[in-house]
Amino acid sequence: MKPDRNPFRDYSAESALFIRRALVAFAGVLLLTGVLIANLYHLQILRFEDYKTRSNENRIKLVPIAPSRGMIYDRNGTPLAFNRTIYQLEVIPEKVEGLQEQIAALGPIVDLSADDLDNFQKERKRSRRFTSIPLKTALNEVQVARFAVNQFRFPGFEVKGYQRRYYPYGSALTHVIGYVSKINDKDVERLDKEGKLANYAATHDIGKLGIERYYEDVLHGKTGYEEVEVNNRGRVIRQLHEQPPQAGKDIYLTLDLNLQRYIEQLLVGSRAAVVVSDPRTGGILALVSTPSYDPNLFVDGISSKDYRALLNDANRPLINRATQGVYPPASTVKPYVAVSAMSAGVISRNTTLFDPGWWQLPGSEKRFRDWKKWGHGRLNITKALEESADTFFYQVAYDMGIDRLSEWLSKFGYGQYTGIDLSEERSGLMPTREWKLKRYKKPWYQGDTIPVGIGQGYWTATPIQMAKALNILINDGNVKVPHLLLSTRIDGQLVPFRQQESQQIGDIHSGFWEIAKDGMFGVANRPNGTGYKYFNGAPYKIAAKSGTAQVFGYETYNAHTIAEHLRDHKLMTAFAPYDNPQVSVAIILENGGAGPAVGTIMRQILDHIMLGDDNTQLPNATPAPPGVEGD
């Protein structure tokens, strides 16, 4: 037996130490338990509502529902833009393992292109996490079938059906209707700034051009929401609540589709623009710009190749020539210059001038030639308008001066936006002294004023401005703002477009308007009129004014030998019937056009409108030789 080495061991001290340690351990356990209980109380009692909300947010999702976009019709109820179902391949990137490998494997199945992949990456960058992102739009039946067979290999990818915009008449209406296309970063920034971004939560497209853009707020509608319960994988278990979307409103335009397409056929091969309107209301019956392009190319995102082709096309099909093309308005403005000069007291109805074929600037040797080199002889206002005598209006411009010319012609809408319901419009230029000094750092000279009298020089205008000015003349100075909207369908009822309150451009003697209009009547109906050969024999009365805008200004100009792109532009304005005008037309043929003369086209358009479809045919005449028309 081993002897005890510590006969004096203090068992009572050890017992006390053990008890102290046990108490400390118990206190620690009690403290930890208290902390756990306190934390549980904090979570379950104090923060109950907060964590309940967070839990519901993980379990309950608000899924936005896109509204159906409103349709666009012409004045006769023909659909010009509507929605059709397309199929789109989508994926939530965060829920797919090996996303890039999966996409690569999908490539040959659904024919993914480089543009598809590029658009996917752009969309992913601006989308929130766990958002379904389109990988390929507008799948055809074969692609949908291929994916359906292979879908088990691609969890997280699915094909969804959507409404997509469609334009059944292609290029015929592009510059009026415009198109919708994918929302880009600039759109997102603008919508966010305007407080409208939430209304596009389920929408991939937005109006980019034309009516689609201008009336976006009317056509888009209001986004709805669906409250759904999802499992831990994000799959929908059941629907809890639904707030249906509000469809966009249908709109009806003043356009006549048949007239629009008819005019487009007349202009095939030409760079041209035509505006047809009702002078009584300002409603646009046709607005044609050629060449054009198919807007459906842009709906699903145009390919880089196709866009480059449009952008680099020398004929500039992307430009709306009717509202964005700027040209010297040429002699089409002479009736307005005449009214302005009579109103300013510069000339009277009895003013005459002898025209030898040129006009010389007083105090200089500078001569301004008339288009008719042997001259028109003795002229009064009416004859000067009928024969479009330049010399008469050179003298008028000299006597008026640029200050009064600019002031008066601005009243006819030149140098200003017309107010048409399209965002794509240029204001043209009504030159002033101040403008030239700012633009060229040079003063205005008398010689600058003279060509302004015949719509040349620095003066530029758009065809829609020409149409508005013509309607002001027809209405004796009453301004009708050109517009395309006819009515809007609201709650099943058609609500007519409310016109702006019309204004008068000034207190102008009614006789001055009649003199100008009679001069235009002579253009079309009297043997010496510059348009007589086109309008003689018409079964209705026409008033017209032709114009030639110079592109190549040398004295040796010869339209037969000069390059096509340097030939003069041909313009014409007209209205009918003369005694009770119901329609007005403005035409520009860049470089003279590629088909019939401008007067021939004008007659065809007016016959089509005044006599009906059965009385008109497309012109089959050979193109007129360049330079055969008078001014």
Active site members: 331
Decide: 305 and 441 in contact? Cβ < 8 Å.
Answer: no
C-alpha 393/C-alpha 390 separation (Å) is 5
Within a 10 A sphere around the Cβ of 514, how many other Cβ atoms? 13
Decide: 508 and 339 in contact? Cβ < 8 Å.
Answer: yes
Within a 10 A sphere around the Cβ of 240, how many other Cβ atoms? 12
CA-angle at 256, arms to 255 and 259, nearest 5°: 125
Query: Distances in Å between the alpha carbon of 87 and those of 54, 161, 273, 512?
Result: 34, 4, 37, 63
DSSP state letter for 4: P
Q: How far apart are the first and last CA of the chain?
A: 143
Amino acid identity at 118 = D
- Tokens in use for 269? 């091969």
Decide: 255 and 285 in contact? Cβ < 8 Å.
Answer: yes
Residue with tokens 């008078």: 630
C-alpha 465/C-alpha 452 separation (Å) is 16
Q: Which stretches of 320-381 are assigned E, i.e. beta strand? A: 353-355, 358-360, 367-369, 377-379
Of the candidates 285, 271, 411, which has an alpha carbon nearest to the alpha carbon of residue 327? 271
Residue 35, judged by CB atoms within 10 A of its CB (0-12, 13-18, 19+), counts as: exposed
Q: What is the H or E stretch that residue 240 is in?
A: strand 236-243
Amino acid identity at 135 = L
